[in-house]
Amino acid sequence: MEISAATVKELRERTGVGFMDCKKALQEAGGDIEEAITLLRTMGKAKAAKRAGRQATEGRVEAYIHMGGKIGVMVELNCETDFVARNEDFIALAGDLAMHVAAASPRFVGRDDVDQTALEAERHIYREQAIGEGKPEQIIDKIVEGKVGRYLSEVCLLEQPFVKDTDKKVGDLITDAIATLGENIVVSRFARFAIGDSAATLAIATQPESE
């Protein structure tokens, strides 16, 4: 199927993915841009999974100040090379993440970083609530896990809906960037300060063990 240059250009502008990958996705999708976007996301997740084990020791620390100095955020975003660290798309991603942290107030980077004692305490509360509401025993576990999932989507940066596009999680934003920039990209830590808060939020990602 012949794909017009204008269609490929539109898909590139919407996704930031390279020309050949956009053209291939459009051909597989029969020219349907929305379906091509879905295909590119799937491809991006596969590429991200392959790159996830690579060391990301370069990057940048991005700062964001909001509400006339009332809220301040610093985010450390890592990549594999200094070349990508200086890329405009990478810099923009770091800025978007810092802005998101200011707006959404996450407490952890990802699921693996959540304190397990606190998480079990949440599970206990949800279970007691379900029992108190008279829910059938056979569905209580499902109810509890559903509430735990919602809790994690509220407190974990990578699980939160991205404030500039709530149809996409922050984790999806990182995956898309990995597919576009061709390197592993990792949020290592962030700190959020707000006037009036007794303590800053400091979150550090759990680092995988080296093989």
CA of 20: how far to CAs of 31, 38, 162, 183, in Å? 14, 16, 28, 18
| Structure token pair of residue 101 | 């942290």
Q: Which domain holds residue 11?
A: 5-51
pTM above 0.95, yes or no: no
Give the orientation angle of helix 19-28 with respect to helix 5-15, to 10 degrees. Answer: 110
What pLDDT, on a 0 to 100 scale, did the predictor assign at position 211? 38
- Asked whether the predicted pLDDT for residue 26 surpasses 70, the reply is yes
Distance CA 179, CA 171 (A): 13
Arithmetic mean of pLDDT over the chain? 87
What pLDDT, on a 0 to 100 scale, did the predictor assign at position 21? 79
Give yes or no: residues 76 and 137 share one domain. Answer: no
User: CB atoms < 10 A from the CB of 66, how many?
Assistant: 16
In three-state form (DSSP H/G/I as H, E/B as E, the rest C), the secondary structure along 25-80 is HHHHCCCCHHHHHHHHHHHHHHHHHHHCCCCCCEEEEEEEEEHHHCEEEEEEEEEC
Q: Stretch 147-169: mean pLDDT, rounded?
A: 93
Give yes or no: residues 78 and 147 share one domain. Answer: no
| Structure token pair of residue 108 | 């952890």
User: Does residue 210 form part of some domain?
Assistant: no
What pLDDT, on a 0 to 100 scale, did the predictor assign at position 45? 58
DSSP state at residue 209: P
Vertex 178: Cα angle to 176 and 180 (nearest 5):
70
Give yes or no: residues 89 and 161 share one domain. Answer: yes
Lowest pLDDT segment from 17-21, 93-97, 118-122: 17-21
Overall number of domains in the chain? 3
- The answer to whether the beta carbons of residues 31 and 3 sit under 8 Å apart is yes
Q: Hey, which residues does 41 pair with through a beta bridge?
A: none
Vertex 116: Cα angle to 114 and 120 (nearest 5):
120
What pLDDT, on a 0 to 100 scale, did the predictor assign at position 46? 55
Lowest pLDDT segment from 13-27, 134-148, 160-174: 13-27
User: Does residue 209 form part of some domain?
Assistant: no
CATH code, 141:
1.10.286
